[in-house]
A and B are shown apart, each in its own frame.
Chain A
Amino acid sequence: MKKLTALTTTALAAAVALALTGCGGQANSSTASKAADFPKAGSTIEWIVPSAAGAGNDILARIVAPVMQEDLGANIKVVNKEGGSQVVGLNYVANAKADGLTFGNTNIPSILGRYLDPSKKAAFDRSSFTPIGSFATNSVVIGVNKDSKYKSIKELFDAVKAEPGKITVGTDSRAGDDHINLRLLENQLGLDFNIVHYNSGADKVAAIVSGETDFALGGVSSFFGQYKAGDIKLLTVVENDPSPFAPEVPTMKSAGYDVEPMASNFALSVPAKTPKEVVARLEAALKKATETPAVQEKLKGAATAPAWKSSSDVAKLWEERENTIKPVIDELLQQK
């Protein structure tokens, strides 16, 4: 009898283990799906999220995927492929079969820092992907501790000018969006910050709440909780229009600084050679999901603004941003 208990326990454990790893693995349709009947009913599409479960990208993917899935009549499986600061996941998408059954987050500008830096060994560049669209944007803001002596962006930047290289600012990672955006600011406004790198957006925010750093720059969603709670004061939004999540925070422009908008776009892409009809089908499904009120509600709940950009608009934006950011990354590389 005891032996039986032991065996059932082991069997149960085995079953759960298999379920946990999702033993199906990836869908492997051997026949190239014809564009006309894409996607085949019941087929599985992988949405590759190149970051960890629970990260911003992941949350948004899990909000959007179910609605796309319904429209396409195929399963969409959100797969987290973490590692190599997103390069592992993005390599996977770039090298996937161009049948529309694999797409992934190619957020702009994040992805630029991955392939413009040759040391990252990315097996892709802009030409490796065809965008299917972008479903949301995250405005970039600058925040300080609630007790900071800097009451406005002008006071902060004046202090930076008075003491170049002394005012500290935290980033979520080296050569990530924050770092690149800070360098853009430095170049465009002739400023010099003391840039300190943290390991995550959360650590960067903690350093502002504790007062370890003087200010921080990042997407409005990363500061949202602390901003709402009053622990962090937002000085400016680096955008032409105020953010709906912090409507009373002045824009950079209104403060008299001529800085290009920095908002990040949650863009999705398939491998470049994917048939046009397949891209169009995915684009239509993503657009429909973006415009679904329930999705919009949930995106707003995550302090991310739902905003539709078509495949061609994303392609254009991608090229423009690459042109702006490439010199900054080249400069970063030379500093090593």
Chain B
Amino acid sequence: MGFDQLLGGLATVFTPEHLLFALLGCVLGMLVGVLPGFGPAAAVSLLIPVTFGLDATSAIIMLAAILYGAAYGGTTTAVLLRIPGEASSIATTLDGYQMAKKGRGGPALVIAALASFVGGLIGVIGFVVVAPFSRLALEFGAPELFLVSLLGFALITSFAGSNPAKALLSAAAGLAIATVGVDSGVGIARFTFDMPELFDGVGLVAVVMGVFGLSEVLGQAQKGPLGVPSPLKVARLLPTRTDLQRSALPSLRGSVIGFFMGLLPGSPGAATSLASYAAEKKLSRRRSEFGKGAVEGIAGPEAANNALAVSSMIPLFTLGIPTSATVAIMAGAFTMNGLIPGPLLFRDNPDVAWAIIASLIVGNLILLILNVPLARVWIAVLKVPFHYLMAAILAFMFLGTYSINGSPFDILIMLGAGVLGYVFQLVKVPLTPLVLGLILGPMLEENFQRSLALSLGDYGVFMEGPISLTLIGVIVVAILFGAVRPLIASMLKKKSHIPVAPKELAK
């Protein structure tokens, strides 16, 4: 593997047919990304039958473009309406919307597009350089994944806002929702009320759409049709030089975080972009600006999100193992076109493999070219009066949520989650920890059970090997700095007050 073959691949991609399908995939991906509830998985699965008539390279170039195209599109509604288009753009709602409120929606969108491009590009470079070593990602077995999810919980304090107890409450609610379903280790049905729809747990997308999307619509509706603020002002479209300077390092860091998380089993997109947000907040000298429109809070997660979209394909290409549901659909597309994903692909069909990898560069370039001018168009959408816009968004959310499984039950979940999210917003409980709890809960529990099943009940399994020990070290540091230090600081400030036990907070 190397850059020679990549150049060869580029030559293959630059045929009108391949370029057309890359463009088609990018546009479709962006569209499903923009529309709340609609995800790349639904789009890819709907298009699989279409790909039958195409040659394998065109087919997979298009499907891959849908996957990473969606990672670009999810940003738009997150920034302009505080409604994430995809679960992985939750992190962008935190600062993107604040920027839009200040009339800086244009720069926010352009920065997001640029950071996405950086993430995608670094993803591809990583693909070429790291792919031969991607086997190392398999060193993350059940005990290591348990520790990774534990580390995720240690990050929850980053989303705490002013009141850590409220963040805890939110995370606990997320964990509680995560317990619904048939437990994978022993097979006991929990809180399923004998409804098969609940056996596999509560769907993440339905909850995200409800908690973030519907609750936002409800919040706007409460202000009444006339009370809704006039469409957001747009001061300027392009980011300033300072914006660009402030975004550079976060984009690079986000790309690296996203790239490595994408290699891990599960490739959890939403948790990764949130991890990048948390990292930027911890590292920034302008920590106080976060949550009020810090451009770093967009650049990092957007880069992470796109690097992950690319790197999550690596285990499929190098080992034939799809690490996420969306990539599994791509694996299906390979099989359907008579190709075996995995190392054999590079031996038997190297031209196909390298053309697809090269198409990632071309696709990311197409998306960048599309997205910067489109920022103007998206902002124009905001000129539609809010009550019409919200009604349209609501319709898309219903359709999109239904499209996940073709199940009306998911719409009920979305409605329930929407009410919960609305109540949380009323009492000023942050919503992000809830989603983090919901994502990390099953990962934590299943890998805990699996580790102990593998070790025949020996808890020492969590402390074996350098990866586990490093992770434990990072968790301890994260708890000390994330929870204990602010607690001591606050105790010094107001000595009389006894706050919540800090350790609980970080678990």
A positions within 8 Å CB-CB of B:
2-3, 5-7, 9-10, 13-14, 16-18, 20-22, 52-55, 58-59, 62-63, 66, 78-85, 87-88, 91, 119-122, 165-166, 168, 173-175, 194, 196-200, 202-203, 205-207, 209-210, 212-213, 224-226, 228-229, 231, 298, 301-302, 332, 336
Query: A302 touches which one: B45, B48, B335 (CB < 8 A)?
Result: B335
B322-344 vs A: 1/0 string, CB under 8 Å? Answer: 11010011111101101011111
Known interface pairs A52-B328, A84-B200, A119-B187; 18 further A-B residue pairs with C-beta atoms within 8 A, sorted by A's residue number: A9-B377, A14-B392, A16-B31, A20-B32, A53-B45, A58-B45, A83-B407, A174-B187, A194-B454, A197-B450, A198-B450, A205-B320, A206-B315, A206-B323, A226-B321, A298-B338, A302-B336, A336-B187
Beyond A2-B380, A53-B41, is A121–B195 a contact (Cβ under 8 Å)? yes
Q: Which 10 A-B pairs have the closest CB atoms?
A: A53-B45, A84-B196, A54-B332, A54-B329, A225-B320, A210-B138, A225-B342, A84-B199, A87-B196, A301-B338
Beyond A16-B31, A55-B332, A194-B453, is A21–B199 a contact (Cβ under 8 Å)? no
* B361 vs chain A, min Cβ distance (A): 25
Whether A13 and B34, one on each chain, are in contact in the complex, defined by CB atoms closer than 8 angstroms, is yes
Beyond A9-B381, A209-B321, is A54–B330 a contact (Cβ under 8 Å)? yes
Whether A225 and B196, one on each chain, are in contact in the complex, defined by CB atoms closer than 8 angstroms, is no
* Cα(A2)–Cα(B344), bound, Å: 52
Beyond A17-B396, A83-B199, A174-B187, is A206–B384 a contact (Cβ under 8 Å)? no
* Cα(A81)–Cα(B32), bound, Å: 20
* B377 vs chain A, min Cβ distance (A): 6
Beyond A202-B321, A225-B320, is A59–B332 a contact (Cβ under 8 Å)? yes
Whether B196 and A54, one on each chain, are in contact in the complex, defined by CB atoms closer than 8 angstroms, is no
- B183 nearest CB neighbor, chain A only: A174
Question: Which of A7, A206, A228: most chain B CB closer than 10 A?
Answer: A206
Query: A2 touches which one: B35, B38, B331, B383 (CB < 8 A)?
Result: B383
What are 16 A-B interface contacts by the 8 Å CB criterion? A10-B384, A14-B396, A20-B38, A53-B329, A54-B330, A83-B405, A84-B196, A88-B405, A203-B265, A206-B265, A209-B321, A210-B138, A224-B340, A226-B320, A228-B344, A229-B320
B213-233 vs A: 1/0 string, CB under 8 Å? Answer: 000000000000000000000
Whether A10 and B188, one on each chain, are in contact in the complex, defined by CB atoms closer than 8 angstroms, is no
Beyond A2-B383, A54-B332, A85-B199, is A13–B35 a contact (Cβ under 8 Å)? yes
Whether B319 and A81, one on each chain, are in contact in the complex, defined by CB atoms closer than 8 angstroms, is no
B360-385 vs A: 1/0 string, CB under 8 Å? Answer: 00000000000000000100110110
* A156 vs chain B, min Cβ distance (A): 17
Interface residues of B in 376-420 (CB under 8 A from A): 377, 380-381, 383-384, 392, 395-396, 399-400, 402-403, 405-407, 409
Q: Which residues of A contact B380 (CB under 8 A)?
A: 2-3, 5-6, 9
Query: B184 touches which one: A53, A174, A205 (CB < 8 A)?
Result: A174
Q: What's the tally of chain B residues with a CB closer than 8 Å to chain A?
A: 76
B277-315 vs A: 1/0 string, CB under 8 Å? Answer: 000000000000000000000000000000000000001
Whether B199 and A87, one on each chain, are in contact in the complex, defined by CB atoms closer than 8 angstroms, is yes
Whether B44 and A20, one on each chain, are in contact in the complex, defined by CB atoms closer than 8 angstroms, is no
Whether B184 and A199, one on each chain, are in contact in the complex, defined by CB atoms closer than 8 angstroms, is yes
Whether B200 and A83, one on each chain, are in contact in the complex, defined by CB atoms closer than 8 angstroms, is yes
Q: Which residues of A contact B329 (CB under 8 A)?
A: 52-54
B189 within 8 A of A: yes
- A196 nearest CB neighbor, chain B only: B453
Query: B454 touches which one: A14, A66, A212, A224 (CB < 8 A)?
Result: A212
Q: Which residues of B contact A213 (CB under 8 A)?
A: 454
- B442 nearest CB neighbor, chain A only: A199
* Cα(A124)–Cα(B184), bound, Å: 23
Q: Which residues of A contact B336 (CB under 8 A)?
A: 59, 62-63, 298, 301-302
* B254 vs chain A, min Cβ distance (A): 26
* A279 vs chain B, min Cβ distance (A): 25
Q: Which residues of A contact B400 (CB under 8 A)?
A: 17
Whether A54 and B141, one on each chain, are in contact in the complex, defined by CB atoms closer than 8 angstroms, is no
B459 within 8 A of A: no
* A25 vs chain B, min Cβ distance (A): 10
Beyond A81-B407, A229-B344, is A205–B52 a contact (Cβ under 8 Å)? no
* Cα(A9)–Cα(B198), bound, Å: 37
Q: Which residues of B contact A10 (CB under 8 A)?
A: 381, 384, 392
Q: Which residues of A contact B321 (CB under 8 A)?
A: 202, 205-206, 209, 226
B193-216 vs A: 1/0 string, CB under 8 Å? Answer: 011111110000000000000000
* Cα(A231)–Cα(B320), bound, Å: 10
B274 within 8 A of A: no
Interface residues of B in 60-89 (CB under 8 A from A): none
Whether A196 and B450, one on each chain, are in contact in the complex, defined by CB atoms closer than 8 angstroms, is yes
- B323 nearest CB neighbor, chain A only: A202
Interface of A is mostly: helix
* A4 vs chain B, min Cβ distance (A): 9
Whether B52 and A62, one on each chain, are in contact in the complex, defined by CB atoms closer than 8 angstroms, is yes
B444-465 vs A: 1/0 string, CB under 8 Å? Answer: 0010001001101000000000
Whether B187 and A175, one on each chain, are in contact in the complex, defined by CB atoms closer than 8 angstroms, is yes
Q: Which residues of A contact B450 (CB under 8 A)?
A: 196-198
B478 within 8 A of A: no
Q: Which residues of A contact B48 (CB under 8 A)?
A: 53-54, 58, 62
Q: Which residues of B contact A198 (CB under 8 A)?
A: 450
Beyond A10-B392, A87-B196, is A226–B38 a contact (Cβ under 8 Å)? no
Whether A21 and B335, one on each chain, are in contact in the complex, defined by CB atoms closer than 8 angstroms, is no
Whether A82 and B405, one on each chain, are in contact in the complex, defined by CB atoms closer than 8 angstroms, is yes
B49 within 8 A of A: yes
* Cα(A238)–Cα(B205), bound, Å: 40
Whether A226 and B342, one on each chain, are in contact in the complex, defined by CB atoms closer than 8 angstroms, is yes
Whether B383 and A6, one on each chain, are in contact in the complex, defined by CB atoms closer than 8 angstroms, is yes
Whether A83 and B196, one on each chain, are in contact in the complex, defined by CB atoms closer than 8 angstroms, is yes
B505 within 8 A of A: no
Question: Which of A79, A81, A203: most chain B CB closer than 10 A?
Answer: A203
Whether A66 and B381, one on each chain, are in contact in the complex, defined by CB atoms closer than 8 angstroms, is no
Whether B332 and A80, one on each chain, are in contact in the complex, defined by CB atoms closer than 8 angstroms, is no
Q: Which residues of B contact A80 (CB under 8 A)?
A: 45, 405-406
Q: Which residues of A contact B333 (CB under 8 A)?
A: 54
- B31 nearest CB neighbor, chain A only: A16
Q: Which residues of A contact B45 (CB under 8 A)?
A: 52-54, 58, 80
Whether A207 and B141, one on each chain, are in contact in the complex, defined by CB atoms closer than 8 angstroms, is yes
* Cα(A212)–Cα(B185), bound, Å: 17
- A25 nearest CB neighbor, chain B only: B406
B169 within 8 A of A: no
* Cα(A226)–Cα(B343), bound, Å: 8
* A302 vs chain B, min Cβ distance (A): 5
Whether B407 and A62, one on each chain, are in contact in the complex, defined by CB atoms closer than 8 angstroms, is no
- A119 nearest CB neighbor, chain B only: B189
Q: Which residues of A contact B52 (CB under 8 A)?
A: 62, 66
B175 within 8 A of A: no
Q: Which residues of A contact B198 (CB under 8 A)?
A: 84
Beyond A53-B48, A209-B138, is A226–B381 a contact (Cβ under 8 Å)? no
* Cα(A73)–Cα(B200), bound, Å: 37
* Cα(A68)–Cα(B469), bound, Å: 56
Whether B188 and A336, one on each chain, are in contact in the complex, defined by CB atoms closer than 8 angstroms, is yes
Q: Which residues of A contact B343 (CB under 8 A)?
A: 229, 231
* A105 vs chain B, min Cβ distance (A): 15
* B322 vs chain A, min Cβ distance (A): 5
Whether B196 and A59, one on each chain, are in contact in the complex, defined by CB atoms closer than 8 angstroms, is no
